[in-house]
Amino acid sequence: MSLRVLNPNAEVLNKSAALHMNINAAKGLQDVLKTNLGPKGTIKMLVGGAGDIKLTKDGNTLLKEMQIQNPTAIMIARTAVAQDDTSGDGTTSTVLFIGELMKQSERYIDEGMHPRVLVDGFEIAKRATLQFLEKFKTPVVMGDEPDKEILKMVARTTLRTKLYEAMADQLTDIVVNAVLCIRKPEEGIDLFMVEIMHMRHKFDVDTRLVEGLVLDHGSRHPDMKRRAENCYILTSNVSLEYDKSEINAGFFYSSAEQREAMVAAERRQVDERVKKIIELKNKVCSGNDNNFVVINQKGIDPPSLDLLARAGIIALRRAKRRNMERLVLACGGEAVNSVDDLTPDCLGWAGLVYEHILGEEKYTFVENVKNPHSCTILIKGPNDHTIAQIKDAVRDGLRSVKNTMEDESVVLGAGAFEVAARQYLVNEVKKTVQGRAQLGVEAFADALLVVPKTLAENSGLDTQDVIIALTGEHDRGNVVGLNQHTGEPIDPHMEGIFDNYSVKRQIINSGPVIASQLLLVDEVIRAGRNMRKPN
Amino acid sequence: MREIVTIQVGGFANFIGSHFWNFQDELLGLAGDPNGDPIFKNQHLDMDVLYRTGETLQGIATYTPRLVSVNFQGSLGSMSSHGTLYDHNPPVPSHVVTWPGNVSTHLSEPHKKNLFLQSLYEEEQENLAPMDGINSGKNDCESEIQDKDIVESLENGVQFWTDFSKVHYHPQSLYELNGLWMDAQDFNNYGIGMDVFSEGLRGEEMNERLRFFVEECDHIQGIQFVVDDSGGFSSVAADFLENIADEYTNTPILLYTVRGPESYMNRRSRRQTMASDLHDAISFSRLSSFCKLIVPIGLPLLGRSKVSSYLCLEDEKPYHCSAVYAAALHSISLPFRMETLGPAMDSCYVSGAVDVYGLIQMLAGQARQNIVATLDAVMPAPSLTGKQVEQSLLGSLHPFTPEIAEDVEDLQEVESLTIHGAFGSGGYRASVSEVEDTVHAAYENATTKPLFSHLSVAHCPLPIPLPFPSIFGNLVGQHGELLGSPVMGGRPSRGSLDVHSIPMAARLRSTTAILPFLENRLGNLQRFGIARGASGTELLRSWGFAKDELEDTAERLSKMIMTLDPHSQSSSDSD
């Protein structure tokens, strides 16, 4: 209470109050996210103060949308969001797991147990569970030709928790093909090489994979073709507009003529650059009816556009920086930074380039490319919130496929891992532990069951029955998960329900760390303004 | 045509922006109004410089600001982030097409539209429906009463910048920083905003929005960037600027760092003062390194400063203060969009057009490469031939930039002055050439005059839109003329109902008067951050600044001082 002397406004919560504050915050957060989990979860529609709609089933999005004020909840939410950043999924599970660890601990602490002992038990259980995960995981050999079926199963498992089945299945093929498309041997997978483009147009089922690239702008000259076949693609980062020279260079003119001459000279330089491009076009396109497309990262001003249009070239300006890389991966050739050394080798190739106009928005499709290493997922939907929801789902789907390829293993889903790990902890690990830390192991083991329990609850099943059925079946020596429809045990392998190994590992790793920190808090001091809303 | 893209980052910047776009909207409206004042008919201003034309999916033509606005999530009040034009808010759907399972709906309490926004909405509905003649006469009468209520409701209840905005924005314009809620935490220092830009896809999305507007420009003349640099938005803006400088290398950036008087108010403890001093130093140095010209704006006591001789401002209302700064920014931006008629012809409406590049080159690119300019303005501008000497136009310009020296003699001073709508003798509007002659004559007679002065003049005054705050004193007449005696009766402060337009003058100066501003920042940085055992090192480390980085920052600041004052070398060495 010495703090009171220093700052009479400080609020101090003593040990048990502090602990209960933490436990309640964790449980509160768990309650909010609980209904999200699994393919039978509840979707949340958030309507903002101005009527903006957001649809989400994603724990990560939801945590970001909630204006969390409670400091404990903020800590948990940060861990969960970090989970999403590193592995792309598992936010909801992390929050549930932390909440459940706190809930289980509460029972023991109320009976007078010291949190330190529980925390020791958590540590032992965590290590044991991670070891068990290594044994339990299903290795997948990636090699040169990854097993598409297993990738699809993982992606489908994720997507079906976000979207209705038919849509999820449609997206499953799209995301798996997209990742396989950008995959390069001996290199990490850069998901940024999958462009995600959206159009507010038609229906969600029109979402498709474009092998090639979709750009969100078009040519800016009325005489340029709107559709061209057999195109050479020049990817460039060359200024084709008349720029004033770099500021601070400081020019001084002594007369108006001198100034005019200066401007004319600068203009000529730009024209020279345009002419070099036209020369290259004439070289490769003479004698055939191939077309020529320039996609430039810098600007192209109207006089330059005019010259290009007259030469029959289609030109796009101010392309996204990332599209420079994607274009080269999709069409071949290389991105040029100067027109001085243009050769036909710099050019890429696309069978079809066409423009699509929706109101004031223009899209340029670059399609029919030879062996693309970059592609576009084109999301369509009737309104912004549907598009946003599909986009989130696609991102998660892509991550799950990437994780699988990098982990070279998967974990059986539908709660199978949790049930198996729990039984392992209770039946084997617990016995090897001395003293009261055993109870920590037990609390940890029971907390793992939160995943199958919540899955059952969200499906409207009786959690007790389900857990008994699952553990019973498990003790008969089978690996079992939960059938969401009937509540019967099933073999997840047969059903094709797989989760990411890295996601599971991350949950097991980070959950107990935060829970332990929260349990060991013995005093909460509110003194600074930082803790509360400024008023 | 030379386009400008505007970027507004942070709370106060958006308040200023809202007023700024209201002025533009008013100018557009008055130009098209058949019964309007003829002075607004021939503005000779090219609004396409700031605005873009587009069309909605339904094929309806739109004309919207070329603007990217960045702010907290939830800072848009009752306005949808998609704007109002392109997307009539669909009613909340009763079922979700993408999910067969349960749906739970979480409704935040809808923000109530204030009287002003309600009247805008009603007006729009009326325009859609065919009007009949008899009714419209009656409506006028009703709306007269309403206008008073509107002004009053705005005076008392502006919470968001959208509350007094009458402009339609493009869906790409309003960007909310996802997950960063208003008031959720103290967002008041450079460190706290450090990762905001790079987290998630925010930076990418902001770049995309900017690219959308830049791609449309045939020949962009520059980017006008307004940032509220009183808190974490400084670092968001610095990261954004770094990206812009990288991507659009040759596009000049004119940066205004703005802050409201309330940002000076929460410096209670010594620790807080130190934190904000360090913030100011770091933020200024970082921001200035990514632009071609930086103009710091924001007085701590605006309402009691000389600027407000004819105004009654309440410092605690951002709605009030931002209006004054917005008016000055409007004046500065006039030369960028004046129609040039060729060198031989002199327009009788505008003169002195210059583009962003030209202005920057003039102020920062000459012999002395000082990239910090000060802003001075007078609102409303006195008539050219003020009877009293102290009322002469040039003498009445007062600084909007804080911490600058007064009455310094600087032989190398360079300035760009804009005067618009000024009155000549006898209370009629002075012609462009008259203004030019008077100003030149004034400089001839002055004891100190700048090395170089650029003058831009426009005939058209600043229109006062309805949602403009009631900040004029009772010495200001209907057209912004300064009266000899106070208006009898009525309220002490006069607003848009009484004052319809005002003459304005504003100037940017490159001058040694800015030295104290720079020296304070350098001094604070050295005292609290770099000196041995400095009390702020820990804090700066938590913001992610290591010692050598701070030394670079200090170096940059002292270089800026040196360009202005070569003799200061000795003092910076001793540190």
Closest CA to A344 of A300, A290, A268: A290
Query: How many angstroms separate the most distant Cα atoms in chain A?
Result: 97
Does any CB of chain B come closer than 8 Å to the CB of residue A204? Answer: yes
Question: Residue A66: what pLDDT?
Answer: 74
* CA within 13 Å, CB half, B557: 28
Does any CB of chain B come closer than 8 Å to the CB of residue A239? Answer: yes
Q: Which DSSP symbol is given to A137?
A: S
Identify the residue with better confidence: A251 or B513: B513
Q: How confident is the model at residue B135 (pLDDT cuts 50, 70, 90)?
A: very low
Write the residue in B99, B106, B208 that is nearest to A46 by C-beta: B106
Model confidence pLDDT, tens digit, residues B190-212: 888 888 888 778 888 899 999 99
Q: Do A301 and B97 touch (CB under 8 A)?
A: no
Chain B residues within an 8 Å CB radius of A382: 97
Q: Do A386 and B247 touch (CB under 8 A)?
A: no
Closest CA to B17 of B63, B70, B92, B55: B70
Domain range annotation of chain A = 3-139+411-526, 213-371
> CA of A304: which chain B residue's CA is closest?
B218
pLDDT at B459 over 80: yes
Does any CB of chain B come closer than 8 Å to the CB of residue A34? Answer: no
Q: Do B360 and A247 touch (CB under 8 A)?
A: yes
Mean pLDDT along residues A88-111: 84
Distances in whole angstroms, Cα of residue B388 to Cα of each of A444, B395, B406, B474, B481: 85, 11, 21, 19, 15
CATH architecture assignment, domain B4-82+156-510: 3-Layer(aba) Sandwich (3.40)
Closest CA to A306 of B218, B216, B215, B340: B218
Looking at the DSSP bridge assignments, the partners of residue A55 are: A45
Model confidence pLDDT, tens digit, residues A11-29: 666 767 777 888 888 888 8
- Catalytic residue ranges of A: 58, 91-92, 396
What residues contact residue A484 under an 8 Å CB cut-off, 6+ apart? A38, A39, A40, A414, A455, A459
CA angle in degrees (0–180, nearest 5) for A116-A118-A121: 115
Does the domain at A213-371 match CATH 3.40.50.300? Answer given as no
Is the ipTM of this structure higher than 0.90? Answer: no
Question: Residue A7: what pLDDT?
Answer: 62
Of A104-118, A313-327, B318-332, B438-452, least confident by mean pLDDT is B438-452
Of A77-91, B117-131, B504-518, B522-536, least confident by mean pLDDT is B117-131
Q: Which residues in chain A (40-69) have CB-CB distances under 8 A to chain B?
A: 40-53, 55, 57, 64-65, 67, 69
Question: Residue A247: what pLDDT?
Answer: 39
Chain B residues within an 8 Å CB radius of A247: 252, 292, 357, 360-361, 364-365
Question: Residue A124: what pLDDT?
Answer: 85
Model confidence pLDDT, tens digit, residues B6-25: 999 988 999 999 999 999 99
Question: Residue B7: what pLDDT?
Answer: 94
Distances in whole angstroms, Cα of residue A369 to Cα of each of A182, A231, A331: 13, 10, 6
> CA of B2: which chain A residue's CA is closest?
A301
Does any CB of chain A come closer than 8 Å to the CB of residue B76? Answer: yes
Of A108-122, B225-239, B514-528, least confident by mean pLDDT is A108-122
Model confidence pLDDT, tens digit, residues A469-504: 888 887 887 777 777 777 777 787 877 888 888 888
Q: What is the rounded CA–CA span in Å between residue B456 and residue B353?
A: 6
Does any CB of chain A come closer than 8 Å to the CB of residue B196? Answer: no
Looking at the DSSP bridge assignments, the partners of residue A354 are: A227, A365
> CATH 3.40.50.1440 occupies which residues in chain B?
4-82+156-510
CA distance B357 to chain A (A): 8
Does any CB of chain B come closer than 8 Å to the CB of residue A345? Answer: no
Question: Residue B254: what pLDDT?
Answer: 92
Burial label, B485 (beta-carbon count in 10 A; 0-12, 13-18, 19+) = exposed
- Residue A290 phi/psi, 5° resolution? -70, 160
Element (H, E) at B506: strand B504-510
Q: Which residues in chain A (241-260) have CB-CB distances under 8 A to chain B?
A: 241-244, 246-248, 250, 256
pLDDT at A96 over 60: yes
Question: Residue B128: what pLDDT?
Answer: 64
Q: Do B96 and A359 touch (CB under 8 A)?
A: no
> Do the strands B504-510 and B67-73 form a parallel or antiparallel pair, or are they unpaired?
unpaired
Residue of B176, B207, B218 to mutate for A, most A C-beta atoms under 10 A: B218
Q: What is the rounded CA–CA span in Å between residue A14 and residue A9?
A: 16
Closest CA to A374 of A235, A217, A478, A519: A235
Q: What is the rounded CA–CA span in Å between residue A518 and residue A514?
A: 6
Crossing angle, helix A463-475 and helix A450-458, to 10 degrees?
A: 130
Residue with tokens 């012999």: B367
> Do the strands A227-236 and A335-336 form a parallel or antiparallel pair, or are they unpaired?
parallel
Residue B456 and residue B334 in contact, taking contact as beta carbons nearer than 8 Å:
yes
Residue of A60, A248, A308, A396 to mutate for B, most B C-beta atoms under 10 A: A248
Residue A362 and residue A218 in contact, taking contact as beta carbons nearer than 8 Å:
yes
pLDDT at A168 over 90: no
Q: What percentage of chain B has pLDDT greater than the value 90?
A: 13
Chain A residues within an 8 Å CB radius of B181: 67
Residue of A33, A37, A53 to mutate for B, most B C-beta atoms under 10 A: A53
Does any CB of chain B come closer than 8 Å to the CB of residue A86? Answer: no
Question: Residue B131: what pLDDT?
Answer: 47
Does any CB of chain B come closer than 8 Å to the CB of residue A191? Answer: no
Q: What is the rounded CA–CA span in Å between residue B359 and residue B508?
A: 9
Q: What percentage of chain A has pLDDT greater than the value 70?
A: 92
Question: Residue A456: what pLDDT?
Answer: 85
CATH number at A3-139+411-526: 1.10.560.10
Could you count the other beta carbons within 10 Å of the beta carbon of residue B549? 12
Q: Do A49 and B102 touch (CB under 8 A)?
A: no
Q: Do B80 and A51 touch (CB under 8 A)?
A: yes
Q: What is the mean pLDDT of chain A?
A: 82
Q: What is the rounded CA–CA span in Å between residue B501 and residue B498?
A: 9
> What does the CA dihedral B32, B33, B36, B39 come to, rounded to 10 degrees?
0
Q: What is the mean pLDDT of chain B?
A: 81
Q: Do B211 and A239 touch (CB under 8 A)?
A: no
Model confidence pLDDT, tens digit, residues A417-476: 888 888 888 888 777 878 887 888 888 888 888 888 888 888 888 888 888 888 888 788
Identify the residue with better confidence: A253 or A231: A231
Q: Which residues in chain B (55-74) have CB-CB distances under 8 A to chain A?
A: 55-59, 62, 74
pLDDT at A249 over 60: no
pLDDT at B169 over 80: yes
Could you count the other beta carbons within 10 Å of the beta carbon of residue A532? 12
Q: What is the rounded CA–CA span in Å between residue A103 and residue A101?
A: 5
Mean pLDDT along residues B407-414: 80
Does any CB of chain B come closer than 8 Å to the CB of residue A384? Answer: yes
Question: Residue A533: what pLDDT?
Answer: 38
SS3 A414: coil
Mean pLDDT along residues A65-92: 77
Model confidence pLDDT, tens digit, residues B250-296: 888 999 999 888 777 766 677 778 888 888 888 999 898 888 899 99
pLDDT at A532 over 50: no
Crossing angle, helix A115-136 and helix A416-424, to 10 degrees?
A: 120
Mean pLDDT along residues A288-314: 89
CA distance A275 to chain B (A): 20
Residue with tokens 């345009």: A274
Q: Which DSSP symbol is given to B468?
A: S
SS3 A196: strand
Does any CB of chain A come closer than 8 Å to the CB of residue B82? Answer: yes
Residue of B76, B96, B109 to mutate for A, most A C-beta atoms under 10 A: B96
pLDDT at A80 over 90: no
Alpha helices, DSSP H, located in A336-478 = 384-407, 416-424, 430-432, 437-448, 450-458, 463-475
Question: Residue A526: what pLDDT?
Answer: 65
> What does the CA dihedral B243, B216, A226, A319 come to, rounded to 10 degrees?
-10
Residue B243 and residue B211 in contact, taking contact as beta carbons nearer than 8 Å:
no
Q: Do B111 and A50 touch (CB under 8 A)?
A: yes
pLDDT at B175 over 60: yes
DSSP A13-76: E-HHHHHHHHHHHHHHHHHHHHTT-STT--EEEEE-TT--EEEE--HHHHHHHS----HHHHHH
pLDDT at B132 over 50: no
Q: How confident is the model at residue B5 (pLDDT cuts 50, 70, 90)?
A: very high
Element (H, E) at B74: none
